[in-house]
Structure 1
Amino acid sequence: MNKSLIIILGSMLLFFSLISYAEEPPASPQPLDKEMDYIVKKGDTLWDISKRFYSDPFLWPRLWQQNQYITNPHYISPGDRIRLYPYKVLIEVEEGKPPKVEEAKPLRPPQLEEVPPPLPPPPEIIRLVIYPEVNSAGFITDKMEGIGMIVAAKVDKLELVAEDEIYINFQKGFSINKGDTFTIFRVGEPIKHPITEKVIGRKVLILGTAVITKTTEGKAQTALITRSYGSMVRGDELTPYFAPREELAVNTMEKSLYGWIVASQLDKLELVEGDVVYIDRGEDDHIRPGHIFHVLRRGAVVPDPGSKNKKEKVKLPDELIARLVVIKTQQKTSTAVIVQTRLSVQVGDEVTTVSE
């Protein structure tokens, strides 16, 4: 009987030990030890931000206190700027100790003191050679047809890159000579307008260039891929070579014109200087290469804390966040490169021409 009792007691001790181990919380990341700005992303809450940067979601009221421009702590929008202070500062506030920063600084709205500096005046000449993405910028169009197609490669492999020898079948009646250069492209998926959700065309991806090395009458022509911006495959098409511009003179428009960024070349969430974007204004709107656009971030509409009407709203100021310059135009769209930024740019941001 004593032996049975010992076995039971041992099993109970093992059981509670396992429970204690299972309930032990994972080690928390190191709390923030520096002062910084944070741009709110979709789905963020003050609770989540406090948990991420301070390992304690219950510090969110202190985070709100340090950002008093936030009128409703349960309503923050993507693009809002929140000032984050070191963990020790929040703890000192919690314990009633004076923070080690200027007293007025945490209480000022970020848009008054903490925003990035304004953009400098735009340059008169844009040197495109400093932006490598321009070489493969591509464009959005309703229709794009090639004059030839890659049908095979000398070395049998799925993906083709620079220095690979390929075979091209051209349309009948098209004259081909040794040394001719062509641009290799691929037509991508339809692009929907981020505001209207209507299809505005397809993105044409520029993949590389090829040079004819040997001509054969009535048969596939031999070529060498001389430059690749991405891997190519059989079925990719060719069009006569168009050399990228090295520089552009910046021009303004005679009248104001608004539009939107409808897509980006690399499908990035946050776009910065040097990234290529596509806008919904083109040749039909008299847009030409060199025209400069402002990128605007429209101010959010928030509850008015000074109004007796709880439903009363107030609109925050619009912000100039970047500039872009058109490098290529189609009938209804244009390709542009971001040349100056003070905040990251997103698809769906509004653009406006710079008028004289």
Structure 2
Amino acid sequence: MRVAIRHFVRVSLLLGSMILLVPVASGAELAPDAPQTYVVRSGDTLWDIAGRFLRDPWLWPEVWQANPGVGDPDLIYPGDVLELTMVGGEPRIRARRGAGPRVVRLTPHVRSSPLSAAVPTIRISSIAPFLTRPYVADAQDIKRAPYVVGFPDEHLIAGVGDSIYVRRIRTNTQTAFQILRPGDELRDPDSNELLGYEAVFVADAQLERIGDPAKLKVVSMEREVSIGDRVIPGDAERRLENFFPHPAPEGLRGRIISVLNGVSQIGPYDVVVINRGTRDGIEPGHVFETYIGGTKERDMVKSGAHEPNWRGPGPLSSEFWFGSDYEKKGWRADEPDSNAPFPLHMDFRRNNQKYFKPFEQSGVLMVFRSFERVSFGVILKASHFINVGDWIASPPS
């Protein structure tokens, strides 16, 4: 009997998905200080290990070679030794099972071989709150969903153990529900399309009686239930399945439109929302590079704002009245109309000299959950501060 220790919410995120099925020419480049061998330690993640060997960790599937000579050849465990070799001029990495007894004799006739917890792809703690909660709601679905209309007593809010009234639940085919509160709009920054709403998780509830209104009981909560909160089936959101990092579709670009951790400047292991989803071919495991730049900036030299004037402008200077970012365009008259008693006067207009700030690669993002129009991603690497509105693009091939 072999007992495998599995991660919670069925998210193993293991190397088991990463067997190299067909020999192909690898585009993976080794990291400058790639080791010849590495002993896997408790607390390691696949992303960290891949980064030790490869310049681009998401290309790990191209170099991994499962060892068919050992049990569970597709998984990596603490104590395993990873060996780097070259095959036909291409890097390959193979695991050699770590030393130490894995078999424990329980009785003369029964053996148990418990497995150490396999190495996860990333640190699950950073994304765990977002794995099974419906944090994005479609604009139409949230409007059509049943909603909390009141309470059996005079409460204004409800907590664990309290009952609530919900409009339009007429069958008992579903008994477990989640209660949401529509949050901020998620709009495409380029087209202004409404992509959905950030849906704040409120509570879990159990059906007590069908009807209009139906009666539900709150069984767990993160915040108090209020009138107007929406109610959806508890299993409407499919749990995250196993996945592995791989490049996003070639040529695909997008934007970061929200950050879910309540921060203004985004760094490693923060969770963000991007304006690309399943309709764009996005799936869990897709890797994007993030970019800063592309913004229109003022040319301080062209506008004259950078020119020092130690004496400062006096009242006889146009800069005194208009500022240094205005320039003389000529003379104009007859304004506001030809009959107005205004003399010919100088025409000063704002100097709008601008330049576009070049794009610079600022980090790496991996999608771990996809909806139709948007997806959740976790920042795995950041060389600059990342902000809402920054661009993302598939890694260059």
Aligned to 2:148: 150
Q: Say yes or no: does 1:341 pair with 2:382.
A: yes
Contact 1:304/1:314 (<8 A) preserved? no
Cα deviation code 1:77-111 (max 9, x no counterpart): xxxxxxxxxxxxxxxxxxxxxxxxxxxxxxxxxxx
1:280-299 to structure 2, matched below 5 A, reads 280-298=275-293
Aligned to 1:214: 208
Q: Distance in 2 between matches of 1:218 and 1:351?
A: 46
Q: Distance in 2 between matches of 1:235 and 1:324?
A: 35
Given candidates 197, 202, 209, the residue that maps to 2:196 is: 202
1:141-180 to structure 2, matched below 5 A, reads 141-145=138-142, 147-153=145-151, 156-161=154-159, 163-169=160-166, 171-176=168-173, 180=175
Contact 2:259/2:273 (<8 A) preserved? yes
3-state secondary structure, aligned to 1:284: helix
Q: Distance in 1 between matches of 2:212 and 2:299?
A: 72
Contact 2:164/2:216 (<8 A) preserved? yes
Aligned to 2:310: none
3-state secondary structure, aligned to 2:141: coil
Aligned to 1:278: 273
How far off its partner does 1:212 sit?
Answer: 1.3
Q: Distance in 2 between matches of 1:172 and 1:211?
A: 13
Q: Distance in 2 between matches of 1:312 and 1:236?
A: 49
Q: What TM-score do the two structures reach when normalised by structure 1? A: 0.52
1:168-317 to structure 2, matched below 5 A, reads 168-169=165-166, 171-176=168-173, 180-196=175-191, 198-212=192-206, 214-215=208-209, 220-228=214-222, 230-241=223-234, 242=237, 244-245=239-240, 248-266=243-261, 268-298=263-293
> Structure 1 residues 278 and 327 mapped into 2: Cα distance closer, same or farther (>3 Å)?
same
Q: Name whichever of 326-335 and 344-353 sits farther off.
A: 326-335
Q: Which amino acid aligns with 2:374?
A: T
Aligned to 1:44: none
How far off its partner does 1:260 sit?
Answer: 0.8
Cα deviation code 1:274-328 (max 9, x no counterpart): 33322222222211122111111127768699xxxx9999877633222222233
> Structure 1 residues 171 and 354 mapped into 2: Cα distance closer, same or farther (>3 Å)?
farther
Q: Distance in 1 between matches of 2:381 and 2:139?
A: 29
How far off its partner does 1:236 sit?
Answer: 0.6
3-state secondary structure, aligned to 1:126: coil
Q: Which amino acid aligns with 1:174?
A: T
Aligned to 1:325: 366
Q: Distance in 2 between matches of 1:159 and 1:217?
A: 21
Q: Which amino acid aligns with 1:227?
A: M
> Structure 1 residues 236 and 190 mapped into 2: Cα distance closer, same or farther (>3 Å)?
same
How far off its partner does 1:351 sit?
Answer: 0.5
Contact 2:270/2:378 (<8 A) preserved? yes
Contact 2:369/2:377 (<8 A) preserved? yes
Cα deviation code 1:214-236 (max 9, x no counterpart): 335676223223232x4431221
How far off its partner does 1:243 sit?
Answer: 5.6
> Structure 1 residues 331 and 132 mapped into 2: Cα distance closer, same or farther (>3 Å)?
closer
Q: Which amino acid aligns with 1:332?
A: R
3-state secondary structure, aligned to 2:279: helix
Q: Which amino acid aligns with 1:325?
A: M
Structure 2: runs of 5+ lacking an equivalent: 1-53, 61-120, 302-306, 308-351
Q: Distance in 2 between matches of 1:159 and 1:276?
A: 30
Q: Distance in 2 between matches of 1:284 and 1:171?
A: 30
3-state secondary structure, aligned to 2:148: strand
Q: Distance in 2 between matches of 1:199 and 1:292?
A: 24
Cα deviation code 1:327-355 (max 9, x no counterpart): 33333322323233233221110001236
Number of matched pairs: 229
Q: Distance in 2 between matches of 1:350 and 1:251?
A: 19
Q: Which amino acid aligns with 1:215?
A: R
Q: Which amino acid aligns with 1:352?
A: A
Q: Which amino acid aligns with 2:259?
A: S
Q: Say yes or no: does 1:134 pair with 2:103.
A: no
> Structure 1 residues 182 and 340 mapped into 2: Cα distance closer, same or farther (>3 Å)?
farther
Q: Distance in 2 between matches of 1:282 and 1:215?
A: 37
